[in-house]
Amino acid sequence: MEQKIYINKEDSIVSMSSNNKAKHYCKSGSTVVFQTSDCYNGNLKSESDLFHLIDYSNINPATGPLYIENAEPGDVLRVDILEIKLDSQGAMSVSPGRGALKDFVEEERTKIIKIEDGYAVFNDILKFPINPMIGVIGTAPKEGEVLNGTPGEHGSNMDCNKIQEGTGLFLPVNVPGALLAMGDLHAVMGDGESATCGIEISREVTVKVTVLKDAIMPTPFLKTNSEYITIAAGKTLDEASSHACFKMLDFLKATLPLDLQELIMLLSIAGNMEICQVVNPLKTARMTMPIDLFDKYNVRI
């Protein structure tokens, strides 16, 4: 029987880099449990705790990194998200000057939101079904050091609410072992993450990690039950969305026996361009295509 590997949230990093020392090692095909902190590193426990009092150097901790044996530069790391467990409460924080609505926030405020019977309880009237997702998940970049708050080609703070239980995330292997890390869970988050936060929450994620050789998808890449998704980051939303679109076109070119003009038409008919977040140092967008379209050509990832 396979033994799960557990990584404690104290083994964490605040930036992704090839210089980070691996905290744990595993083989391809292993099941790994990452215990995570929320993006505030557990510092907002009550509504009297305010964001400006937090040491910003400890924001967005990601548990890891994990070294996956036989993962070499040029490979793709498949991360199947098997289960996401949440704590009993999460937190939200708004402040003047932060987020897409930064000019309208009149005062700094923290809101504690209880998780009860599968719902996030916003107030006495409003509650929302939980939709657990991972905000920060990535591998080491090719070069340099990237703070966990910034998304990129290596993944990290994509804040894509499709990264949830039952999905497969494909990330690039840029350095030996990949150096996978993750954190920043959300109980619920709308596309855009307009206030700079979803319902930020901690606990744990169970994943299966698999090294793929000669994979064809442009990373970061996501497979849900019904969609293939390309994800891209950029300085502007226009840049991010265009890049996500180009990535999906590359995937279509590699998998479907149609000419370029037909593929472009197909992308406009069946593809959906969607926003992940607009509040991080780089914006993130995604392009989705229905899996059943690929099934007609016997293409399966």
Tell me the average pLDDT of the chain.
96
Q: 121-155, pLDDT tens digit by residue?
A: 999 999 999 999 999 999 999 999 999 999 999 99
Collect the ranges in the chain with pLDDT lower than 70.
1-3
Q: How many residues does the chain have?
A: 301
Whether the Cβ atoms of residue 209 and residue 182 lie closer than 8 Å to each other = no
Q: What is the pLDDT of residue 97?
A: 87
Q: What is the pLDDT of residue 49?
A: 93
Alpha carbon separation from 11 to 14, 17, 91, 134, 207 (Å, rounded): 11, 15, 22, 18, 17
Q: pTM, whole model, 2 decimals?
A: 0.96
Environment class of 58 (CB within 10 Å of its CB; exposed 0-12, middle 13-18, buried 19+): middle
Q: What is the pLDDT of residue 99?
A: 85
Q: What is the pLDDT of residue 21?
A: 96
Q: 25-65, pLDDT tens digit by residue?
A: 999 999 999 999 999 999 999 999 998 888 877 899 999 99
Q: What is the pLDDT of residue 271?
A: 98
Q: What is the pLDDT of residue 2?
A: 66
What residues are paired with 119 via a beta bridge? Answer: 116, 129
